[in-house]
Amino acid sequence: MAGHSHWANIAAKKGIADKRRGKLFGKLSRAIIVAARNGGGDPATNLALRYAIEKARKASMPKETIERAIKKGCGELEGEDFIEMVYEGYGPGGVAVLCDVLTENRNRTVSEIRKIFEVHGGRLGSTGCVAWMFERKGLFMVPCKHVEEDKLLEVALEAGADDVRQVGDSFEVTCSPEAFSQVSEALEREKIPTDVSEISRIPSNTVDLDADQGRKALKLLEALEDHDDVQSVTSNFNIPDEVMAELAAEAAD
């Protein structure tokens, strides 16, 4: 299983997004502001904004908050001037780690991100050191228990998905960023639930970690995800099935 899928599944099952709910709306607002600033306030012609709004709606962000963020991005309301950054580095076992960041203070953020890497046995790298290992893709994780594989294949591929494959107890559906909205709408229309629905960076190769390294890598990703300025984190590791089983048990408690 690819490292990103591991992390996406664990984050969903452990309720990490819910624990971060106080921070989540702030992160989503930043994404909307930057998308509107870069491509205008019309989601019909601005794919990044449409995706950011869909993600905010799925997180139950109030309509007024979404509209206010769009207005800030378009300059109709005063707002912070966020800078888009991508931080790259290495985690335990030499795994590649990529962080998408929106910040109003580049120097503060890079210092804090570097510290998180160091505390968790990794190191921040230079621009371009690992980004070449990842490709931007739409990603959906669908629990196997909720849909037959043939049905999912039919719905996803007809909507423009590139691939559907089973990963553990979930199906992983990938598509181009441009096809993300169509695939998302098709799954919703067919009432096929997803644990993960996002545009992310998918690794082209993976690194196998033992149980100890796997736990350390997961702690690094969770710490990075918890940072206010970090929008998303991905990596390229595989961890042992027994660790996944233990984490699933912990999530169920």
Other Cβ atoms within 10 Å of 64 Cβ, number: 8
The domain defined by 84-132+206-244 folds into Alpha-Beta Plaits (3.30.70)
3-state secondary structure of 36: helix
Q: Are 6 and 237 in contact (CB under 8 A)?
A: yes
Residues 124-167: pLDDT tens digits?
999 999 999 999 999 999 999 999 999 999 999 999 999 999 88
Euclidean distance between CA atoms 39 and 198, whole angstroms: 19
* pTM recorded for the entire structure: 0.80
The domain defined by 134-203 folds into Alpha-Beta Plaits (3.30.70)
pLDDT of residue 2: 46
Q: Are 192 and 147 in contact (CB under 8 A)?
A: yes
Residues 74-115: pLDDT tens digits?
999 887 889 999 999 999 999 999 999 999 999 999 999 999
pLDDT of residue 112: 97
Domain limits, the chain: 84-132+206-244, 134-203
Helices 3-13 and 211-225: crossing angle in degrees, nearest 10, is 70
